[in-house]
Amino acid sequence: MAGLFRPIALGDLSFPNRIVMAHLTLKQEATRPPGANILQQQGRFDAFVQEFNTERPHEALDMKCPAQLYATSPLRYDGLPELSYPFHDRDVLVTACGRLCLHRKRINISTVLAGQKLGIKEVDEGIWLVSFMHYDLGYFDLEQKTLQPLDNPLRPQARYRCPRYDGALTEMHSRSLLAWQPLAWPR
């Protein structure tokens, strides 16, 4: 992929270059020198964000500060809807430590899902399918008490092909490729 992207030229304020410059500014002003501990470092980040949004005019905003133009959304966010699994045998709640409890056995799922309701369905004697929303996460065996995950249903799928790369690119890579300006695509 060498040579596919052009280097950032000084004064080039195209979208990807503005992002790079914003990160460079953040790094220069909020991390050098670093805070003595994590709380001091967080304080430096918070001070940078406050100044960046309320005191610094931005050329892209006609020399206004973001805080001058920001408006809260008129739409209200109520969180996830109540989850139900009508095609499963049971609804179970994941504990704070990331487990589900069934027949006095604890099965580790993930702390990421702590507090969430999962659907479980017995597909064979002692073998259960675990689902979150409309994603099947995997199977667990009550004797082994471990989740055997399926392929990650949330990973980007290969959808695009890149002429300079002999293979499929994921949607995530394609989005980042589209954000950058290529020099020229080979024919």
pLDDT tens string 70-121:
888 899 888 888 889 999 999 999 999 999 998 888 999 989 999 999 999 9
Residue 144: per-residue pLDDT: 87
pLDDT tens string 120-157:
999 999 899 999 998 899 999 888 888 888 887 666 55
Least reliable range by pLDDT among 52-56, 75-79, 175-179: 175-179
Domain map (residue ranges) of the chain: 15-69, 90-149, 156-187
* Three-state secondary structure readout of the chain: CCCCECCCCCCCCCHHHHHHHHHHHHHHHHCCCCCCCHHHHHHHHHHHHHHHHHCCCEHHHCCECHHHHCCCCCCCCCCCCCCCCCCCCEEEECCCCCEEEECCEEEECCHHHCCCEEEEEEEECCEEEEEECCEEEEEEECCCCEEEECCCCCCCCEEEECCCCCCEEEHHHHHHHHHCCECCCCC
